[in-house]
């Protein structure tokens, strides 16, 4: 659908009126008057006819305009232009030029304005943190003593627990997985058992056990299998 985009410079002639639609959405309406002036043939400037526009805004633009715009203030409005036709109580048909506002701002050629950023939830009244009671409760929590490990932003950090240091690792901390599970160091066993890994093995003297004697590589495997 083709839509006409317009920018209207004018003065607010009615206070914005916020309303709620049947589906719960918010919209705000007000009227704006604009009087253009042109230079005449003799070099002077003269006002032309005054035009009136009905302005309607939805959602956050509507909520913010309801608390920011007042009657008599100069504004700049950008939106879609359309013509509405209606019939009054006497049965007389009328037409009205309407602007569905997408952007509304004060005209700073004629004065100053301040800006306050708010979230969409806060503008539509759905933000509980915007309530005065909630703000006082949050302020009380900020001024109260914070527990250990919680900073001013409410983030939790690890806190070192006082106590004896952990026991030292057994064996060199070489990075191997079983470095801390090695047996504690002690006196080395004396005698031949210290050098012979099979000294305590009862099957060490049986044929086929212990260190095999080098022999014929073609028959060693078969002899070892027979011995088992």
User: Where along the chain do its domains lie?
Assistant: 4-133
The per-residue pLDDT for range 41-58, each reduced to its tens digit, is: 888 888 888 999 999 999
The per-residue pLDDT for range 145-175, each reduced to its tens digit, is: 666 677 766 677 776 656 666 555 545 555 5
Do the beta carbons of residue 136 and residue 147 sit within 8 Å? no
The per-residue pLDDT for range 69-88, each reduced to its tens digit, is: 999 999 999 999 999 888 88
pTM of model > 0.75: no
End-to-end CA gap in the chain: 95
4-133 in CATH: which number? 2.40.50.140
Do the beta carbons of residue 109 and residue 74 sit within 8 Å? yes
CA-based nearest residue to 119, from 76, 56, 59: 59
- Give 198's pLDDT tier (boundaries 50, 70, 90): low
User: In this predicted model, which residue has the larger pLDDT, 161 or 6?
Assistant: 6
């Amino acid at each position: 659908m083709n839509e006409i985009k317009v920018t209207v410079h004018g003065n607010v002639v009615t206070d914005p009126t916020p309303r709620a639609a049947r589906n719960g959405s918010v919209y705000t309406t007000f009227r704006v008057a604009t009087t253009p002036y042109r230079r005449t043939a003799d070099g002077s400037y003269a006002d032309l006819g005054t035009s009136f526009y009905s302005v309607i805004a939805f959602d956050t633009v509507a909520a913010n305009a309801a608390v920011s715009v007042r009657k008599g203030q100069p504004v700049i409005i950008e939106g879609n232009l359309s013509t509405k036709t209606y019939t009054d109580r006497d049965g007389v048909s009328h037409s009205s030029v309407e602007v569905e506002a997408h952007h509304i701002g004060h005209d700073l050629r004629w004065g100053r304005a301040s800006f306050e950023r708010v979230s969409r939830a806060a503008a539509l009244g759905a933000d509980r943190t915007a309530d005065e009671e909630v703000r006082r409760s949050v302020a009380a929590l900020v001024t109260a003593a914070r527990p250990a490990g919680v900073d001013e932003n409410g983030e939790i950090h690890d806190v070192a627990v006082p106590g004896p240091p952990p026991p030292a690792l057994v064996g060199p901390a070489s990075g191997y997985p079983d470095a801390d599970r090695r047996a504690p160091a002690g006196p080395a066993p004396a005698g031949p058992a210290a050098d012979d890994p099979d000294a305590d093995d009862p099957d060490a003297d049986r044929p086929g056990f212990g260190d095999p004697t080098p022999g014929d590589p073609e028959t060693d495997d078969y002899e070892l299998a027979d011995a088992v």
